[in-house]
Structure 1
Amino acid sequence: MSAVSSASQPVPRWLAVPSDPNGLVPAVWPESAVRDEHGVLEIGGVAVTELRERFGTPLYVLDEDAVRQTARRTLDAFRAAAALRGAQARVYYAGKAFLSTEVVRWVTEEGLAVDVCSVGELAVALAAGADPARLGFHGNNKSEAELERAVEAGVGSIVIDSFIELERLAAIVERRGATQAVLVRVNSGVHAETHDFLATAHEDQKFGFTLTDAGAAVARIREVPGLRFVGLHCHIGSQIFGTAGFEESAARVVELHAELLAGGEIPVLNLGGGFGIAYTAADDPTPIEHLATGIADAVARECAVRGIPMPNLAFEPGRAIVGRAGVTLYQVGTTKPVALGDDLTRLYVSVDGGMSDNPRTALYGAQYSARIASRTSDAVPQLSRVVGKHCESGDIVVDHEYLPADIAPGDLLAVPATGAYCFSLSSNYNWMPRPPVVAVRQGSARVIVRGETIDDLLARDAAAPAQGTTGEGNE
């Protein structure tokens, strides 16, 4: 399970003093992250000092090859595991982790389908040229307009989340004379070993049908000529290590699947995503090949017990595809030692971003790592906390870390594993413009999402006077 801290522990048990505070933990950083002969961090063959000069900070950096390689590896793993059991597998990239037209192109070129959960995400996927038939549409409160647009676009499948939504969609397909493939989202009752806000299969939450109610939803779908029931969907949470939760959830959902086969064929079982990544040296995520094998074995075993054919499988990883590929760059502004007692001091390192570009620490208590990126240091490791510049005491980027004691204003600081849910959850709190997203590959860098300027922010203020150009950091 991902490292979790306690407010009563100045130094959490999982945090070890590093032998080298300049070292890069391999599982946390993109494979391309290395230091050059001057100690400057390179990502995708590009020095971070060059990135700062060209694009400014804060800056989201995304390693294109890392995204592509992980997408291929994930698809290969699930296809191979399913094939050994006589089934096929489809992998959807969960766009909520991070979505742009470039990323959609990367993952679709590597063979993945795409999962969207709003009309905006659908628009991005379509603008990127994604095949609508290889899109899945999620969400617990899809409006009539969103469902209409999804049917109009020819979205491959819509995941039904409630009886009200079901009737909305039934009316749309009847009016349009269309046929729409749908899945039914169910809550298996399995609790993921993760933060309560990240666990999504327990009963007391907003997503999906209970196992008891799902049968009635499927029966109603089968009554509607324009709706084609293709399978069940279940997602037990996010940032999950190990296969035990997936296996137990699969057992419960396969039981329902077997009961529903009496009413007709069910070609697909979608078991969602939620596969964890390493954010700190204490994290030990399960290799995707082991996950694929364990989950496919569990489904095959449950089907064999019930004497039913194994359905084709579908999965929806997002963080696992893009998370490790991302690194956020900041510039240090101030440092401040704070005595904690018992001869213990924590160094507060303030950077030029914060909870507006990465709210996960404040929102979930997420843990991250950090390293000085513009140089190496021979100074001793110092207990540190990386904080942002927002007017909030909870504005923490990295809660617990050891950084070289001589870290100083002007140093570049890199925070790895920020490819997922950082840009997606970013905000303009304190009127901070969102940073650009830059893709790096084989020694070159380019903007794939333009950063905001103060003028952009003022342009949305209807009462503000027209502004000149004041933005920087986007080529």
Structure 2
Amino acid sequence: MFLHGTSTINAQGHLEIGGCDTVELKEQYGTPLYIVDEALVRQRSREYVEAFKASGLSFQVAYASKAFCTLAMCRLAEEEGLSLDVVSEGELHTALEAGFPVQRIHFHGNNKTPEEIQMAITAGIGCFVVDNFIEIHLLNAIAKDNGVKVNVLLRVTPGVEAHTHEYISTGQTDSKFGFDIGNGSAYEAVSLAASQSNLNLLGLHSHIGSQIFEVEGFQMAVERVAAFAVKVKQETDVTFQVVNLGGGFGIRYMDGDTPLKVSEYVKAITDAVKEHFAAAYTTLPEIWVEPGRSIVGDAGTTLYTVGTSKDIPGVRKYVAVDGGMTDNPRPALYESKYEATLANRANDSVEETVSIAGKCCESGDMLIWDVELPKVNTGDLLAVSCTGAYNYAMASNYNRIRRPAVVFVNEGQSDIVVRRESLNDIVANDLIPARIQKQPSLNA
């Protein structure tokens, strides 16, 4: 397994992350366990900020909290000078409870409810990213009722299909998100939004997909968004102060994945902005981006305890762990691939090829197909790397399995940031109607 961030193998042959022995973490917190390398999260955050500073452009780097949203993560993002992208009342509530600066919160989503909009307006967030015509009217009406004028970006689809999984590709014409530039709806949206009394149209938003390993898609998106912005300026005199180019920057999950350095992505984007906006804009727009996976993805490791195994001669050997699709649904959803190692015997030589099965009652609950490991024994600890993004965030209680704890590790210190769910948590919201309540025995 490739060692990310502060990960290393210590003198005992144990995987160590953030100066913490994973065997000791298992003893203290149990498994499954999400482990977050705090130093690597901070490093990735700073790489974005420093790269944009080097460009000379005004900017905001907004952490896409959908990747991993907890109180502690919101605080860390604030400390690193990031803004915050939220997409639901739950993410917004988490940000507010963490004390995140409201003016640096951006609210996304293709179907914001009136209640969510009211909550965000009451909080005084910095910006709404508007996704459709209904939302333009709804947001303006609620803002008017509150006697405020709110900042908005219009999400546009530039017709760029990034090289990514079809379920996470969002910049193409056929998408549930945004106003299409090609068919004229984006132009119509600009005219409508600009005419609303309680909307302040700051600019445009574009997002072309996720887990992208090249810069050409971003460059093409900038070119098309800029051409649209220039057309709007020339024909309507509406000038955009902000252009948000989304996220989607890839990370290394497996050998063969080839993400670029953060600075390379940022330079390609900012150079394209300078090239394509300069002719019509005397002052270049402020550039926003929304990295999520590339900030937390490779900083996360999930630790499991090995349980049973099943060897089918001539076919494969299944090794089952105490987690699965409830803590990592991505293999089932996207056929995502991961690397792994035995955390308690990290220096042992590879002896067998096995497939890692989860414990859910589903044939599709497989975490990894065909991974090479030392001889695996019951009780071994399996560490799966790069689980920081969309693992805890997408975890479920399927089969009424408890969601794992989350710990931050840094310089030899571990801190619980999400407690493991208890069995009482599982039934905490359950109710039994009076008509089916268990009746006392007549013989009592």
The bucket for the TM-score relative to the shorter chain is over 0.9
Q: Which residue of 2 aligns with 1:260?
A: 232
Does 311-320 or 203-212 show the bigger shift?
A: 203-212
Task: Give the Cα–Cα distance (whole angstroms) in 2 for the partners of residues 392 and 303 of structure 1.
Answer: 52
Q: Which residue of 1 aligns with 2:188?
A: 216
CA deviations over 1:219-273 (Å, ceiling 9, x no partner): 1111122210001000000111110111111111111111222433311100000
CA contact (8 A) 2:309 2:319 kept: yes
The answer for unaligned runs of 5 or more in structure 1 is 1-23, 466-475
Q: Which residue of 2 aligns with 1:65?
A: 39
Runs of 4+ displaced beyond 4 Å: 305-309
The CA deviation at 1:446 is 1.4
Alignment CA distance shift 1:130-1:307 (3 Å): closer
Q: Which residue of 1 aligns with 2:101?
A: 131
Task: Give the Cα–Cα distance (whole angstroms) in 2 for the partners of residues 458 and 384 of structure 1.
Answer: 36
Task: Give the Cα–Cα distance (whole angstroms) in 1 for the partners of residues 295 and 433 of structure 2.
Answer: 41
Alignment CA distance shift 1:378-1:100 (3 Å): closer
Alignment CA distance shift 1:88-1:280 (3 Å): same
CA contact (8 A) 1:48 1:373 kept: yes
- 2:113 aligned residue (131, 143, 149): 143
Residue 398 in structure 1 maps to residue 375 in structure 2: no
The CA deviation at 1:377 is 5.2
Once the two structures are superposed, the pairs formed by residues 419-434 of structure 1 within 5 Å of their partners are 419-434=388-403
CA contact (8 A) 2:303 2:383 kept: yes
CA deviations over 1:333-358 (Å, ceiling 9, x no partner): 02223344xxxx53321100000000
- Residue 336 of structure 1 aligns to a residue in which SS? strand
The CA deviation at 1:78 is 2.2
The CA deviation at 1:464 is 10
Q: Which residue of 1 aligns with 2:2?
A: 25
- Structure 1 length as normaliser, TM-score? 0.88
CA contact (8 A) 1:277 1:285 kept: yes
- Residue 96 of structure 1 aligns to a residue in which SS? helix
- 2:285 aligned residue (311, 325, 338): 311
Does 236-245 or 374-383 show the bigger shift?
A: 374-383
Task: Give the Cα–Cα distance (whole angstroms) in 2 for the partners of residues 108 and 356 of structure 1.
Answer: 29
Alignment CA distance shift 1:80-1:148 (3 Å): same
CA contact (8 A) 1:367 1:400 kept: no
Once the two structures are superposed, the pairs formed by residues 344-383 of structure 1 within 5 Å of their partners are 346-376=316-346, 378-383=348-353
- 2:202 aligned residue (230, 239, 242): 230
- The letter for the 2-side match of 1:215 is Y
The CA deviation at 1:285 is 0.7
Q: Which residue of 1 aligns with 2:72?
A: 102
Q: Which residue of 1 aligns with 2:29?
A: 55
- Structure 2 length as normaliser, TM-score? 0.94
Q: Which residue of 2 aligns with 1:198?
A: 168
Task: Give the Cα–Cα distance (whole angstroms) in 1 for the partners of residues 275 and 347 of structure 2.
Answer: 54
- The letter for the 1-side match of 2:15 is L
Once the two structures are superposed, the pairs formed by residues 289-304 of structure 1 within 5 Å of their partners are 289-304=263-278
CA contact (8 A) 2:129 2:155 kept: yes
CA contact (8 A) 2:350 2:372 kept: no
- Residue 418 of structure 1 aligns to a residue in which SS? coil
CA contact (8 A) 1:183 1:230 kept: yes
CA contact (8 A) 1:346 1:382 kept: no
- 2:17 aligned residue (36, 43, 47): 43
Residue 247 in structure 1 maps to residue 219 in structure 2: yes
CA deviations over 1:127-186 (Å, ceiling 9, x no partner): 111111000000000011111111111110000101111100110111111010000000
CA contact (8 A) 1:79 1:90 kept: no
- The letter for the 1-side match of 2:335 is G
CA deviations over 1:21-80 (Å, ceiling 9, x no partner): xxx414xx2x21111111011111111111111110000011111111111111111232
Task: Give the Cα–Cα distance (whole angstroms) in 2 for the partners of residues 307 and 163 of structure 1.
Answer: 27
Task: Give the Cα–Cα distance (whole angstroms) in 2 for the partners of residues 400 and 305 of structure 1.
Answer: 54
The CA deviation at 1:306 is 5.1
CA contact (8 A) 1:335 1:347 kept: yes
CA contact (8 A) 2:311 2:317 kept: yes
CA contact (8 A) 1:95 1:121 kept: yes
Q: Which residue of 2 aligns with 1:111?
A: 81
CA contact (8 A) 2:144 2:198 kept: yes
CA contact (8 A) 1:346 1:385 kept: yes
Query: CA RMSD for the aligned pairs?
Result: 1.6
Identity %: 44
The CA deviation at 1:456 is 0.9
- 2:421 aligned residue (452, 467, 470): 452
Task: Give the Cα–Cα distance (whole angstroms) in 2 for the partners of residues 378 and 104 of structure 1.
Answer: 38
CA contact (8 A) 1:438 1:449 kept: yes
The CA deviation at 1:381 is 3.8
The CA deviation at 1:455 is 1.3
Q: Which residue of 1 aligns with 2:159?
A: 189
The answer for unaligned runs of 5 or more in structure 2 is 435-444
Residue 436 in structure 1 maps to residue 405 in structure 2: yes
Task: Give the Cα–Cα distance (whole angstroms) in 2 for the partners of residues 199 and 443 of structure 1.
Answer: 39
Task: Give the Cα–Cα distance (whole angstroms) in 1 for the partners of residues 317 and 254 of structure 2.
Answer: 19
CA contact (8 A) 2:152 2:202 kept: yes
- The letter for the 2-side match of 1:240 is I
- Residue 392 of structure 2 aligns to a residue in which SS? coil
- Residue 324 of structure 1 aligns to a residue in which SS? helix
Alignment CA distance shift 1:186-1:97 (3 Å): same
